[in-house]
Structure 1
Amino acid sequence: MGGVQDFALTQMRKAVEKLGSSAEMYEGPTLMRFLIARSMDPNKAAKMFVQWQKWRASMVPNGFISESEITVELAARKVLLQGLSQDKYPLLIVQACKHFPSKDQLQFKKYVVHLLDKTIASAVKGREIGNEKLIAVVDLKHLAYKNIDARGFITGFQFLQAYYPERLAKLYVIHMPQFFVSVWKLICRFLEKATLEKIVIVGNEEERRQFIKDVGEEVLPEEYGGRARFIAVQDAVLPPLQNGRK
């Protein structure tokens, strides 16, 4: 890392200690995500980092969310974890027509954490640990009014923004029906500028071809123009030695 980054990291570590916590266990790439998310301001990054530590301790006290805690959400088989994209980012696909607003908000939140943690852990070995990103696809095909869950969308995005900074490489929204546009506009009001810049609405055929090219036919299921088979998130096997990384 360059001199400016090294200086910012040192200042951030000191700021974390002033807030009564420690960043000793965490390496540069992890802390750097928080710095980037807060425009390289060490104090703001430290505050965000300590809030993340407290949130993880509360939400994920065991270090991971077990499948036994989220059985209802997993049963719908509405999320796919497909492997690595062209840019070697793990690909997460959400099939919204299989989703229904949750009656158990805590379980839904744990489900979101489980999805994000497992997707990040599936990143290819050899990439810079702590700096892994993911690609997400939200498929709105066959969406009905009963599937609409603005609160669920907002929860997912807020978790990404507050607790998974700089993890999202790109998010594609495909097959958006006209009746969902107003809902999407509402959701976007909760998104930071940096998040909005990573979202691509795939509409016409040219955009669809570009989407397939950018993600890669090898990892996209046939339904989306690729050559892969569907892999539900609970069926995806993680590479060895991927759990518990910082």
Structure 2
Amino acid sequence: MCIHVDDDPVVHLFSYACLLEEDDFALRRFLRARDHNIGKASTMLLQYLTWKRVAKPHGSISDDEVRNEIAKDRVRMQGFDRLNRPMAYLYGARHFPAHHDLGEFKRYVAYVLDKICTRLPVGQEKFAAVIDMKGWGYANCDLRGYVAALEIMQGHYPERLGRVFLIHVPYMFMAAWKMVYPFIDDRTRKKFVFVANKDLKSTLQGAIDESQLPEEYGCKLKL
């Protein structure tokens, strides 16, 4: 239930929107994302509710709506990090923008975010991810897709991302990163960690127990 703060109509609107569709935990995430500025947080929440009605008119996105994207097997979810955040593993070399529809890709981004949020343990609001860029090349570069994914995550799933490790990053990817970087807000930028190959094992195992890390990274978890 939302708490009445004062007679400011913006606050009333924010509280009403929250009472209709979102719980207090969601309200706090939107507030934190906008540094507890009620006006900015209310605008963000209302934009989210408008997006949600269009993107998820039935309340959720079904497997059938993103069947083509699922078939590419570029996201896997399994295990938890040392902070008990559910892990997602993304494979950049399996993404080919020439072979997908941007609208379906956007639905898929929301679908993936919803799926990992269902794995959040009680008391945990954030997830973590490893983005493996091994084999990534120009055919995988998708600036529109990257920006769209960032906009969905930052605008509609605030304060859900805990940490992202980018591994096996080829030098050529940095040109794309420089173009995408301005679209990443300050809070989110701090959550991206580029991991050098020589530091891969120590960095990942420092954040994730070996029992929770996939076998492909020299550990024990079967994906």
Tell me if TM exceeds 0.5. Answer: yes
8 Å CA contact 1:16, 1:46 repeated in 2: yes
Cα deviation for residue 205 of structure 1 reads: 2.4
Question: TM-score normalized by structure 1?
Answer: 0.82
What 5-or-longer segments of structure 2 have no aligned partner? none
Pick closer, same or farther for the CA change 1:97–1:204 going to 2, 3 Å.
closer
State the SS of the aligned residue for 2:52.
helix
> What is the identity percentage for the equivalent residue pairs of Structure 1 and Structure 2?
32
Higher relative contact order (CA closer than 8 Å, sequence separation 6+): 1
Cα distance per residue 1:152-193 (max 9 Å; x no partner): 111111111111110000011100001111111111121111
State the SS of the aligned residue for 2:159.
coil
In structure 2, the partner of 1:122 is 119
Q: Distance in 1 between matches of 2:150 and 2:7?
A: 25
User: Superposed, which structure 2 residues align to 1:72-221 within 5 Å?
Assistant: 72-101=68-97, 102-124=99-121, 126-127=122-123, 132-206=125-199, 208-221=201-214
| Alignment RMSD (CA, Å) | 2.3
Count residues with an aligned counterpart: 220
Q: Distance in 2 between matches of 1:218 and 1:16?
A: 46
The partner residue of 1:15 within 10, 31, 35 is 10
Cα deviation for residue 32 of structure 1 reads: 0.6
Q: Distance in 1 between matches of 2:8 and 2:194?
A: 38
Cα deviation for residue 20 of structure 1 reads: 9.9
Q: Which amino acid aligns with 2:69?
A: E
Pick closer, same or farther for the CA change 1:13–1:120 going to 2, 3 Å.
farther
Cα deviation for residue 21 of structure 1 reads: 5.1
Matched, 1:47 2:43: yes
Matched, 1:225 2:221: no
8 Å CA contact 1:134, 1:170 repeated in 2: yes
Question: TM-score normalized by structure 2?
Answer: 0.90
Pick closer, same or farther for the CA change 1:29–1:21 going to 2, 3 Å.
closer
What 5-or-longer segments of structure 1 have no aligned partner? 1-5, 231-246
State the SS of the aligned residue for 1:24.
helix
Q: Distance in 2 between matches of 1:198 and 1:56?
A: 25
8 Å CA contact 1:69, 1:107 repeated in 2: yes
In structure 1, the partner of 2:23 is 27
State the SS of the aligned residue for 1:189.
helix
Q: Distance in 2 between matches of 1:193 and 1:21?
A: 29
